[in-house]
Chains A and B, each alone.
Chain A
Amino acid sequence: MKKSLNIFIIFSLVFLITDRLVGSGIELIEKKVYTGQSVGKVNQFISVKDSVDLIVFGSSRASHHVDAKVLNDKSYNMGVDGTRIGYCAALISSLKKKKQIILVHIDPITLFGGDYAGNDVLSLLSLSSRNEDVKNIIKEIYPGEIFLSEAFKCYSYNGKLFGILKNYFKPSYNYLEYDGFDPLYPTNGQKEIFRKIILNTDLALFKNNSASDYPNAITDKFISIIKKKCEDNNSKLIFFTSPTMKKNSDELSLKTKVYFDSRDIEYFDFSNLQEVKEYDNWKDFTHLSYQGAQAFTKALSKRIYNN
């Protein structure tokens, strides 16, 4: 047993050292990456967040739909594919600048769906080592993950290494000209396929009806964090739902509106926006094309500044 214990101890020590070395190496490279969704966009956000006047947060339906420059010259769209309210809350908690306009995209089903557990916030684990605000938010929901990321440095970079290396050696775009907006340009062929799909699809089948009567506790918690931060910074907070072909039931839309009214938070529901009704405004059922995004941004701008 002594021999085995000896090997186990050496193995553990070598692992701890290797983990620190590899993790630190990745961290060194990661800090210099400013392109790509998994790491670069967050780094760019950290560098611009306290210099812009308007920031958009949300999922791909924020990054593809809101041309933030139309809303404000000094703006940034921090929408990232696959993220939800937890990710937004963690990033918003890091804002220092006062009197900004904060736009947060939310889908009503995230608010009233029971299955959301806030694990999108974990994609910010690598940022947590250099940003206390983000770390505290993650720690509130997933203390174990913070423990693991502190114990094992490589843990924070799980699934990100190839993205970091790719964007380090071959950046996807010129980040100095990038404002976070990722417009979608479907080809004529794609538009035609989508037109045919729409003709053969009963859109009523997509209706989001399956929602709980009560707001999801985690979502509610993140919204409170966002609200508190915006109040502290004296920033204007607006939640919005962008257009979608997967309609929400009237009941769900009403519940969402009532929820935000009760929290005294401004909420704009554009899920049924008439200006983007035609199929050529869409890339797929939930994402607008560039043309649709422009029409939507115009409507959003009107609503923000008229209010």
Chain B
Amino acid sequence: MIFNSLAFLIFFPIVFLLYWLIPKEKYKIQNILLLVASYVFYGWWDWRFLSLIAFSTIIDYILGLKISTSVSRKRTFLVLSLVSNLGLLAIFKYFNFFIDSWIAFWQLFGYQMSPSTINIILPVGISFYTFQTMSYSIDIYRGDLKPTKNFINFATFVSLFPQLVAGPIERASNLIPQIAKRRVWDHKRFMDGAFQILVGFFRKVVVADAIGTVIDGIYNAPDIHNASSIVMAVVLYSFQIYFDFSGYSDIAIGTAKLLGFDFKRNFNLPYFSVSITEFWRRWHISLSGWLRDYLYIPLGGNRRGIKMQYRNLFITMLLGGLWHGSSWNFVIWGGIHGVLLGLEKRFDLVPKNYNFFKNILIFLIVSLIWIFFRALNFNDSSIIFIKLFTGEYLMPYIGDLNSLTKLLYGLILALMFDIVLFRRNIPLENFGSTLSKTNFIIISNFILINIVLFFSSSNNFIYFQF
């Protein structure tokens, strides 16, 4: 089930009503309801994949307890947890990629091998919930977290439907304590959550999906488009992926708030960054934090000299890139970010006297790197770069004028709202409750009417593929 579907618009109010009809003292029954609802939500795609999430849940529940109680075999149980989670990822996400890469490698030396890839469907959200369960085991191993003995609580933590398929990647230390105690209705949380859901839907269905209808054709066939069209697609894609993914996170965080949970912030106006380092502090914060705590710091972080720090940054971003998808393009995308992060430690990428342009320059750099992320393959990325620097700048392809007007209208509104958030320095997560009752009703209605008038047809969220 996806958020921008009729199914979810029916599903959520039912769950919401049942959930709050249960007396707050019986929060354990609320948890069972959430667990069942989460499995229904996930099974809506393909019920067979429920076995994977159940497998991951059972394994990490048992191993979490074992890691905590065992002294001598603590490390073995942790390795078992990591192997089972990474094993799931390796089979379902990377198997064909590894095989294809292995064959391509030998072909470089003239050896011909027959392709033996098999048809594996990528289970939605597998990268998210496996990272979540892995962090649980690692935190217990490190002594930062005590394992929960309540299986329902743990299963609810792994599968809680707002964050199940595309994050935010919640830490057990934040979520399990909230699951393990009773939730009380909080008016502030309601105002914040409801407002954030509306903004999330607007960002996704009015802005991101409208951009998709204009630029998909260009990115899917860059060879037939001129340089101006490609520049337009490159710039607009930066907005598409931002509004798509932050929109999803907004709906997830807002939905969780309506159920009485506080998720961590996942986006903090990333295109207002003045450096690549800052960009990664503001973009997909739950993943950057995960990579920092469970990869970069264990590798040594910045503790073993500047050269090791460069190496650690590069490895972290390279693997961060691979996490996004089984394609060399993602590895290149992550690698370039790793190199830039390293360079930034040594040099000012944007000279100090050009401070005014820092935002724009960082936006342009990030936009250029997104090319590897969006292009269908390395060949297409190369075509795009060649055209950008050597192509003819003629009239861009704008397709249907009505679609373009709609896109620009939504984009301008969304950017204006981001500027308001930036200037007022209020996180969107807390914005709804800062409005007076009248303003809340007027602004929310304005957003909802615009959603109804300008939503684009239902597309999956970009991050579902990861």
Which residue numbers of A lie inside 8 Å of B, CB to CB? 1, 3-4, 7-8, 10-11, 14-15, 18-19, 22, 38, 144, 152, 154-155, 157-163, 166
Contacts and interface: CB of A to CB of B under 8 A. Distances in A.
Nearest to A152: B452
B405 interface: yes
Given A10-B441, A11-B445, A161-B454, A144 B6 contact: yes
A11 B402 contact: no
B452 A162 contact: no
20 contacts: A1-B185, A4-B191, A7-B437, A11-B445, A14-B442, A14-B445, A15-B449, A19-B449, A19-B452, A22-B453, A38-B402, A154-B453, A158-B452, A158-B455, A159-B402, A159-B406, A159-B453, A160-B402, A162-B405, A166-B405
Contacts of A163: 402
B460 interface: no
A128 B437 CA distance: 37
B159 interface: no
Contacts of B393: none
B452 A11 contact: no
Contact of B187 (A3, A19, A161): A3
Dominant secondary structure at the A interface: helix
B366 interface: no
Interface string B435-466: 00100111011001100111110000000000
B294 interface: no
Nearest to B403: A159
B452 A154 contact: yes
Contacts of B455: 158-159
B151 interface: no
Interface in B20-56: 20
Name the residue in A14, A158, A159 with the highest tally of chain B Cβ atoms < 10 Å from its Cβ: A159
Contacts of A1: 20, 185, 187
A162 B449 contact: no
A41 to B, nearest CB: 13
A9 to B, nearest CB: 10
Nearest to A82: B400
B431 to A, nearest CB: 15
A15 B451 CA distance: 12
B409 interface: yes
Interface string B245-263: 0000000000000000000
Given A3-B187, A154-B449, 19 more contacts: A7-B440, A7-B441, A11-B444, A11-B445, A14-B441, A14-B442, A15-B445, A15-B449, A18-B445, A18-B449, A158-B452, A159-B402, A159-B454, A159-B455, A160-B402, A161-B453, A161-B454, A162-B402, A166-B405
B29 to A, nearest CB: 18
Contacts of A38: 402
Please name the 4 residue pairs, one residue from A and one from B, whose CB atoms are nearest each other, closest first.
A4-B190, A162-B405, A154-B452, A1-B185
A52 to B, nearest CB: 27
A14 B191 CA distance: 16
B187 A4 contact: yes
B452 A4 contact: no
Interface residues of B, number: 25
Given A7-B437, A10-B441, A144-B6, A158 B449 contact: no
Given A7-B191, A7-B440, A157-B453, A162 B406 contact: yes
A11 B198 CA distance: 13
B441 A11 contact: yes
A157 B444 CA distance: 20
A8 B185 CA distance: 14
Contacts of A10: 437, 441
Contacts of A155: 452
A246 B421 CA distance: 51
Contacts of A154: 449, 452-453
Contact of B456 (A159, A162, A166): A159
Contacts of A162: 402, 405-406, 409
Nearest to A11: B441
B33 to A, nearest CB: 18
Find the residue from B6, B191, B454 having the highest chain A CB count within 10 A: B454
Nearest to A16: B445
Interface in B399-449: 402-403, 405-406, 409, 437, 440-442, 444-445, 448-449
Nearest to A157: B453
Contacts of A160: 402
Given A4-B185, A4-B187, A15-B449, A158 B454 contact: yes
Contacts of B448: 15
B407 to A, nearest CB: 10
Contacts of B187: 1, 3-4
A18 B6 CA distance: 22
Contacts of A11: 440-441, 444-445
Given A4-B187, A38-B402, A162-B406, A22 B445 contact: no
Nearest to A5: B190
A161 B452 CA distance: 11
A172 to B, nearest CB: 10
Interface string B184-226: 0101001100100000000000000000000000000000000
Contacts of B442: 14
Nearest to B448: A15
B27 to A, nearest CB: 16
A70 to B, nearest CB: 28
Contacts of A157: 453
A162 B410 CA distance: 12
A10 B437 CA distance: 10
Interface in B77-95: none
Contacts of B453: 22, 154, 157-159, 161
A22 B445 CA distance: 12
B63 to A, nearest CB: 40
Contacts of B437: 7, 10
Report which residue of B20, B190, B440 has the largest number of chain A beta carbons within 10 angstroms of its beta carbon.
B190
A19 B450 CA distance: 10
A155 B452 CA distance: 6
B21 to A, nearest CB: 11
A77 B384 CA distance: 40
B7 to A, nearest CB: 11
B449 A22 contact: yes
Contacts of B185: 1, 4
Contacts of A3: 187
Nearest to A197: B224
Contacts of B194: 8
Residue with the highest number of chain A CB atoms closer than 10 Å, among B405, B445, B452: B452
Which of A8, A155, A163 lies at the interface centre, i.e. has the most chain B CB atoms within 10 A of its CB? A163
A163 B409 CA distance: 13
